[in-house]
Amino acid sequence: MNLRKLDDEHYPAFSTGQAAELLGVEQPFLRSLDSAGVVSPQRSSGGHRRYSRHQLGLAGRLRELLDEGHTLASARSILRLETELDEAHREIARLREQLNRATADPPDGPTEDGTG
């Protein structure tokens, strides 16, 4: 058994029953998310749904939004926008790190005092 797969948040490790128990929801809720195309679990060789930790996070967030009174369509839009915002923040951090590295490197050629 390759235990490193369990570190992969996209590895489909959980059955519908396990996922429902972890999230505190009923199995039909998870199946409805699959039917709506919001969370699409992989299928085992026997055709059973298998959820990843990432998908459990999405399903949990959707449950929160639905509990707050959002429709599935609006919850889906909110989740998409939250994902885009997270990606934008990661890109900004990456670009800032590049800028910091570029400004920390000593310039090529002579320095201001004429040495180097």
Q: How far is CA 81 from CA 9, 34, 38, 65, 75, in A?
A: 21, 20, 14, 13, 10
Amino acid at 108: D
CA 79, CA 81: separation in Å to the nearest integer?
5
The string of pLDDT tens digits covering residues 86-98 is: 999 999 999 999 9
One CATH from 1.10.1660.10, 3.90.550.50, 3.40.50.300, 3.40.190.10 for 9-104:
1.10.1660.10
Q: Where are the domains of the chain?
A: 9-104
Q: Which two tokens stand for residue 96?
A: 């800032």
Q: Which two tokens stand for residue 33?
A: 């998310």
The string of pLDDT tens digits covering residues 8-64 is: 999 999 999 999 999 999 999 999 999 999 999 999 999 999 999 999 999 999 999
Record the pTM: 0.75
